[in-house]
Structure 1
Amino acid sequence: MNIKAIVMDMDGTLLNSKDKISPKTRDILIECQKNGIKVVLASGRNYGRIQPYLEELNLKKYGGLLIEINGIAIYDMSKNQRTILRQMHEDEVNPIFSYLMSLNVESIAVYDEGLFDYMPPSILKMKKELRKTLELPEDYPWTAGAWSWFADMRHGYPCQKYIEKVEEIDCPINKFQILQETDILNEVEELLIHKYGNHFEVFRTTPRQIEMGPKGYTKGDTLSRLMEDFGWSKDEVFVFGDGGNDISMFKRTNYSFAMGQALESVKNEAKYITLSNDEDGIYEALMKFNVIKGA
């Protein structure tokens, strides 16, 4: 087997539930790179939130690649070059975010250095009580994450502003995040797909998070660009993922793997299902297919 690239999502895929790369997975990915296989991290995160893991995987040393923010940016570590392919501006941002603000959801507009976060009064009230229960420090961010109502993302997004009006968003935006409990988000997802699905990408990344971005700029679209640039065929690329934003990559290769804990809708789109992110699913698949041996 002559594999040229291993492409993987981060949260829920490369990273375990403790937000760490397991030693077994780390070591086999480094070994793959020593054998000339490119490692590509494809994430909803931006460069700042991916950076802590680059040294751990030796990506700079071996010239790895990043597909950032669900496909709107590429970072080539061999050239130390970042290319932003697409962002959203005021004429796109304001009508969408105004609509999101009318729903009972926490709505976030994300840019490179930070985010703008709107919380309806009902969610803000709930969070005030929850903060007391959790005994969070006073400086801990109010911002929700993909898995819980509070997440500390200051390392990747140092500028976090809590807004009340859409006019407070004053820079180009990379993506929107919509956060709520699962049952409510199921209904919101249908609304957003119906209203915006023809012009924007709408996908479920976790049971309690939806993300939106520019149409035609998915992880899969950007992976296709890389495959063309590097001359990789469908038989030479392994892809791993667990969320709705990973499905677009599955369609670009003959070796797509859903993690064991992935959403059922994601598993249905993958050719193979491996173990979960807490069971070294990436390691198990690479060993099963003798990727290093065939390099």
Structure 2
Amino acid sequence: MKHTYRLLVLDLDGTLTNSKKEISPRNLQTLLRLQESGVRLVLASGRPTYGIAPLAEALQMQKHHGCILSYNGGEIIDWSTGELLYKNLLPDDVLPVLYTAAVRNGQAILTYDNEYILTEQPDDEYVLKEAFLNKMQIRPTDDFLRDAPLPLPKCLIVGDPDKLMQTEAELSLRLQGRISVYRSEPYFLELVPLGIDKARSLAVLLERLGLTREEMVAMGDGYNDLSMIRFAGMGVAMANAQEPVRKAADYITLSNDEDGVAVAVEKLFFSNEA
């Protein structure tokens, strides 16, 4: 029986992009073909919106009515219209707590202001890594608390992985029940609104689009993809995915350096074509 999938949700780093943080030619051509067939595309990432935008443009998502789910589900944007469909923001009063902890522990804190990364430590190696990853410019400030554009969807404290453990433990305890604190990389401490979750945000999007979870395919590799892989009608893990993600998936494709996205799309969406 021919598939009934009408929505494809893709994580970016470790999934859609290869080790060079690029979309391979095969992945690109396969996803353009998929959208031409009428399937809508959603890019779902912990990245800020401006860090996802170049990939959305390469995939011609504006033309094909795609959506961006940024900040790990904190915002959903209809890329064809620019309409903000959903947002979840940090409480303003937690920002001084986050800032004080970062400074006391000798770490850099950053947030996002449209196309810029805002920080007091523009030369920090991990701040530079985040800027490179998202293809965003750094805007230095001498007063982070003054210049941060409240309310914020997310902050990031970055630094040496071992030392970051102390900050993570401290903020998890102090802000328990108020925000979510977790590491997306050993050197990146994510500070996001409580309840941020890709699956929860995708449930909102599905309702807006008039689709069901059974009509959705979701692909990912990291712990923050677990919920959407379990939630989707078809959950796909990359070969390079974390072990719990692979165990939760309905199907495991090739790695992000082996065009795993294209392989899965060809199998799930095009294999029944005559």
Query: Which bracket does the TM-score occupy, shorter chain normalised?
Result: 0.7 to 0.9
Q: Which runs of 5+ in 2 are unaligned?
A: none
Amino acid in structure 2 at the alignment position of 1:112: N
Give matches, 1:105-124, under 5 Å. 105-117=107-119
- Superposition TM-score, scaled by structure 2 size: 0.84
With over 3 angstroms needed to count, the CA separation of the structure-2 counterparts of 1:13 and 1:83, relative to structure 1, is same
Which of 42, 45, 52 pairs up with 1:40? 42
CA contact (8 A) 1:204 1:243 kept: no
Amino acid in structure 1 at the alignment position of 2:197: T
Which shifted more, 58-67 or 172-181?
172-181
Residue of structure 2 equivalent to 1:180: 159
- Mapped to 2, the partners of 1:210 and 1:225 lie a distance apart of 26
- Mapped to 2, the partners of 1:267 and 1:187 lie a distance apart of 30
Amino acid in structure 1 at the alignment position of 2:4: N
Once the two structures are superposed, residues 94-147 of structure 1 have per-residue CA deviations (whole angstroms, 9 ceiling, x without a partner) of 12332233335433233434333356xxxxxxxxxxxxxxxxxxxxx524459x
Residue of structure 1 equivalent to 2:55: 53
CA contact (8 A) 2:6 2:216 kept: yes
Aligned length: 270
Which of 9, 19, 22 pairs up with 1:20? 22
Residue of structure 1 equivalent to 2:102: 100
With over 3 angstroms needed to count, the CA separation of the structure-2 counterparts of 1:170 and 1:207, relative to structure 1, is closer
- CA positional deviation for 1:253: 1.3
Residue of structure 1 equivalent to 2:208: 229
Overall identity of the aligned pairs, in %: 29
Once the two structures are superposed, residues 15-69 of structure 1 have per-residue CA deviations (whole angstroms, 9 ceiling, x without a partner) of 1111110111111111111111111011222332222222321211111111122
- CA positional deviation for 1:5: 0.6
With over 3 angstroms needed to count, the CA separation of the structure-2 counterparts of 1:181 and 1:242, relative to structure 1, is farther
Give matches, 1:77-88, under 5 Å. 77-83=79-85, 85-88=87-90
Residue of structure 2 equivalent to 1:127: none
Residue of structure 1 equivalent to 2:270: 292
Residue of structure 1 equivalent to 2:77: 75
Matching of residue 283 in structure 1 with residue 262 in structure 2: yes
Secondary structure of 1:54 counterpart: helix
Secondary structure of 2:225 counterpart: helix
CA contact (8 A) 2:72 2:196 kept: yes
- Mapped to 2, the partners of 1:267 and 1:26 lie a distance apart of 24
Which shifted more, 245-254 or 32-41?
245-254
Residue of structure 2 equivalent to 1:217: 196
- Mapped to 2, the partners of 1:272 and 1:186 lie a distance apart of 34
Which of 130, 149, 154 pairs up with 1:171? 149
With over 3 angstroms needed to count, the CA separation of the structure-2 counterparts of 1:274 and 1:185, relative to structure 1, is farther
- Mapped to 2, the partners of 1:32 and 1:67 lie a distance apart of 19
CA contact (8 A) 2:52 2:134 kept: no
- Mapped to 1, the partners of 2:97 and 2:266 lie a distance apart of 48
Residue of structure 1 equivalent to 2:228: 249
With over 3 angstroms needed to count, the CA separation of the structure-2 counterparts of 1:264 and 1:168, relative to structure 1, is farther
CA contact (8 A) 1:13 1:259 kept: yes
CA contact (8 A) 1:242 1:266 kept: yes
CA contact (8 A) 2:116 2:139 kept: yes
Query: RMSD across aligned C-alpha pairs, in angstroms?
Result: 2.9
- Superposition TM-score, scaled by structure 1 size: 0.78
CA contact (8 A) 1:87 1:174 kept: yes
Q: Which runs of 5+ in 1 are unaligned?
A: 120-140
Secondary structure of 1:286 counterpart: helix
